[in-house]
Amino acid sequence: MNIHGQWLEDKISKNDAGQTIEDYLKTKWRIPKKMLHQFRMSKNVHINGEPLPWKNTLKEDDTVSLPFFETEPNEITPHNVEIEILFEDEHVLIVNKPIKIDTHPSSEHDQKTLLNAVAAYFQKTGLKTKPRHVHRLDRDTSGAILFTKHFVASSVFDQLLAERKINRTYIALVQGIIKKEEGIINEPIGRDRHHATRRRVSRTGQAAKTSYRVLKRNTVKNETLIELSLETGRTHQIRVHMSHIGHPLLGDTLYGGNRLKEQQQALHAIKLSFIHPFTHQLVSAVAPPNQQVFLPYSNLFSY
């Protein structure tokens, strides 16, 4: 696989030979129907340098040129700060988000977000596409976030997220001592009518399921270190669920947690894993905790 300007070039292997161009785009690249139609109408997929009918059969060593890296108008203002890269290939970039930075702008004047920082990295490395975040983390939550490098990857990874094929593992410090070794919180989450940004467990809310297990109990500090995984991705899900069972996150004052000196919430997305839809390899990106509150427990994070 090579990149030449806007083109990603893929040499047809023995396994891919014998497929029609259309089947190859569907199976290897998982390109959705709407995008397939756009490619077909624009005649922008080339085989050995020329657009061919999509019912043609591919042969071993044919070169397929895909317009994945077409120059896009990029309205994202670059923010030149260093980012910690956990994984990178032609299609995606996974970075370790620090606290006190938003994932993306909330207004046109907000230009110091992680998305702006990734836009600066794209500019520095010569990518003329715009970054897109597949998911997000709250401002005061740190950890692994996935960005895509081209519009096809964005569409495919959005689909993987909806299908729950991107696994996210979190660690958190919560108040109090959790007695059970592990548990599942299966409670729907909805908006709080009395607070614009707050969520709450509500019978009329959206289904939400959180699994947790205890990593360490600290009776001296009256806190418990836990690992969590989500089967759904509701806004503030971990924060709402842990508060609901009487163990709010340290620093999470919105949901009953005691304030920390660093004005943060003790929640970190420590691991992001998925089967890569294009290479079919397991990608497992581990984000070293970058919050001071987790340092006393650093020997427990052997992912």
Q: Which residues are catalytic?
A: 138
Among candidate residues 88, 220, 98, 67, the one with its CA nearest the CA of residue 146:
88
Distance (Å) of CA 213 to CA 32, 71, 229: 37, 46, 9
In the numeric block, the tokens 């991107």 are attached to 166
Phi, psi (degrees; rounded to nearest 5) at 287 = -105, 110
| Single-letter residue type at 9 | E
State whether residue 184 is helix, strand or coil.
Answer: strand
Longest distance between any two alpha carbons in the chain, whole Å: 71
By the 8 A CB rule, do 233 and 156 touch?
A: no
What is the spatial distance between Cα 293 and Cα 263, in angstroms, rounded to a whole number?
11
State whether residue 81 is helix, strand or coil.
Answer: coil
By the 8 A CB rule, do 79 and 105 touch?
A: no
By the 8 A CB rule, do 212 and 185 touch?
A: yes
Question: How close are the terminal C-alpha atoms of the chain, in Å?
Answer: 30
| Single-letter residue type at 46 | H
What is the spatial distance between Cα 35 and Cα 28, in angstroms, rounded to a whole number?
14
In the numeric block, the tokens 């836990």 are attached to 226
By the 8 A CB rule, do 192 and 243 touch?
A: no
Phi, psi (degrees; rounded to nearest 5) at 213 = -145, 145
What is the spatial distance between Cα 302 and Cα 264, in angstroms, rounded to a whole number?
24
